[in-house]
Amino acid sequence: MSTSDGKDPLRPGTRITHAGRRPEWTGRVVNPPVWRGSTHLYESEAERKAVTNGTSDGQFFYGRRGAPTQWALAEALTEIEPGAFGTVLYPSGVAAIAGCLLAILRPGDHLLMIDNAYDPTRNMATGLLKRLGVTHSFFDPLDLAGFENLVAEKAPRAVWFESPGSLTMEVCDVPAMASIARAAKAVTLIDNTWASGLGFAALNHGCDITMQSLSKHVGGHSDLMMGSASAGERWYKALRRTSHELGQVVSPDDAALAARGLRTMKIRLEQETKSALKIARWLEAQAQVDEVLCPILPGAPGHDLWKRDFTGGCGLFSFVLKSASSDASGPLADALKLFGIGYSWGGFESLVLPIYPDKHRSVMNAPTQGGAKPAVRLSIGLEDPDDLIADLEQALGQLDN
């Protein structure tokens, strides 16, 4: 029995437990072992020619094409991504973003990019792609009519989404925008790191390619860097080709760590989402807090679209302070004892980051939400949420209002 995307009908929690296990690759071990090796020796010249001429996955070729540890991870990610035919792994999330865009765009093409995209993604449009002769425009995630006009005016080859967007967490209407883009023959890509395929089935909501930083939820333990892109057959093949051309490969050690993290990702995400909601609710009621930018919070900006389109969330959200001091977010971060100040998110430990979104916007009122007030982003980990609330309470209490 299989679903319309050819996958078995098991629920995600069951799929994620068994996905990517192939006895013909790794024997009967439960978790794929670390399989090192650059060079594979062929039985004969005839076998070498047969493998080298082929383009199918899961065959020993040379270390740069990976080995069972990487194949198992890629296959597991494909199995839990509704609508995917295959997944390409990259050495970081940013490498995945570059790999996706370079697979699609050619000199003379136009790229439409969401204005609240992760800053290095924006820099790719304004830097690397510009140098290669690709032009770009940024669009406001909350302006559907403006988006439609821009698509008609610019005839883009590709549209890049990220939802919720970085730092200010706006949720855009991906199905509506993707259908406008596709009608204009643009390729639709999304950075789906926040929700992962478990929380937002991007390919089933109109995207052609879904990309993730695996350094976040999949790794889950703040000890590896990796990215991925999953797609249906046509775009998967384009991604794979460009990745081979660029010589992209991930280490087997990191692939084994990511595969281990993947097994517990669903329960970690569920716990972090539950804790984030409790903390967001508490923050909303605090006198020092102006606005909580957390789409999983009922009544918060983006919640209605999140509820309509998503099946899960994560522990990442932001909040805006009322403080008259424009730099109050730094002292707040310093006053927190349980939240480390650091980049990244999605690990088991909570983090805080003062944010300045107005530096990373081109067309939106920056920041769209909260005005030009100090703000921080929290990544809620697996600590007891009541301890995190107590920490936030003491830190907020130290702010001069």
Ligand X SMILES: Cc1ncc(COP(=O)(O)O)c(C=O)c1O
Nearer to ligand X by Cβ, of 82 and 227: the residue is 227
Nearer to ligand X by Cβ, of 118 and 235: the residue is 118
Among 73, 77, 80, 94, binds ligand X (CB under 6 A): 94
Nearer to ligand X by Cβ, of 26 and 188: the residue is 188
> Is residue 193 involved in binding ligand X (CB under 6 A)?
yes
Catalytic residue among 118, 122, 157, 361: 118
Residue 64 annotated among the catalytic residues of the structure: yes
- Cβ 113 to ligand X shortest distance, Å: 13
Distance CA 242, CA 212 (A): 17
Give the residue nearest to ligand X (CB). Answer: 93
Among 79, 81, 170, 191, binds ligand X (CB under 6 A): 191
Residue 234 annotated among the catalytic residues of the structure: no
> Is residue 31 involved in binding ligand X (CB under 6 A)?
no
Residue 90 annotated among the catalytic residues of the structure: no
How are strands ordered across the β-sheet holding 209-213? 86-90, 227-231, 209-213, 187-191, 158-162, 110-114, 135-139
Among 118, 147, 236, 339, binds ligand X (CB under 6 A): 118
Nearer to ligand X by Cβ, of 69 and 166: the residue is 166
Question: How many residues belong to the site for ligand X (CB under 6 A)?
Answer: 13
Catalytic residue among 36, 49, 64, 241: 64
- Cβ 228 to ligand X shortest distance, Å: 10
Distance CA 254, CA 398 (A): 41
> Is residue 116 involved in binding ligand X (CB under 6 A)?
no
> Is residue 92 involved in binding ligand X (CB under 6 A)?
yes
Distance CA 45, CA 25 (A): 22
Distance CA 163, CA 165 (A): 5
Q: Which two tokens stand for residue 126?
A: 């304004």
Nearer to ligand X by Cβ, of 20 and 227: the residue is 227
> Is residue 357 involved in binding ligand X (CB under 6 A)?
no
Among 87, 166, 248, 329, binds ligand X (CB under 6 A): 166
Mask for 216-235, x = binds ligand X (CB under 6 A): ---------x-x--------
Which residues bind to ligand X, rule: CB under 6 A?
A: 92-94, 118, 162, 166, 191, 193, 213, 215, 225, 227, 344
- Tell me the catalytic residues: 64, 118, 191, 216
